[in-house]
Amino acid sequence: MGVWWIYMLRDETLSLYTGISTDVERRLQEHRHKGCCGAKYTRAKKRLDLVYCCELGSRSLASRAEYRLKKLPKGQKEAIVAGGYDRTTLLAFLGLALETSNA
């Protein structure tokens, strides 16, 4: 399996949506085309812009990061977007250990 990424999308109301994928561009297109593959939340959105993405490696780590990121207040999510956090910074911010494997 490929390398997993975490990403955030901003909609026309300035809300942020967080997800994970092995192919962020493909996933963004699925969200934008409102078909069966897009998330239910993004189907009703008129505009979706990719505002953040970060390579995390394994699916396990990406899932844990997504879970923690979704629980953050919007202000902290905006800080991540504005700061363009790299992998190490993001994981430290979320309180997750950096995996030592090359998954």
pLDDT tens digits, one per residue of 70-94:
999 999 999 999 999 999 999 999 9
Per-residue pLDDT at 23 exceeds 70 = yes
pLDDT of residue 103: 44
Cβ atoms of residues 16 and 75 within 8 Å: no
Say what the pTM is.
Answer: 0.88
Helix (H) or strand (E) run with residue 74 in it: helix 74-83
Distance of alpha carbon 66 from alpha carbon 32, whole angstroms: 20
Q: Mean pLDDT score of the chain, rounded to an integer?
A: 90
Query: Tokens standing for 85?
Result: 């956090």
CB atoms within 10 A of CB 97: 9
The predicted structure's pLDDT at residue 37: 75
Higher pLDDT, 79 or 46: 79
Place of tokens 């939340």: 41
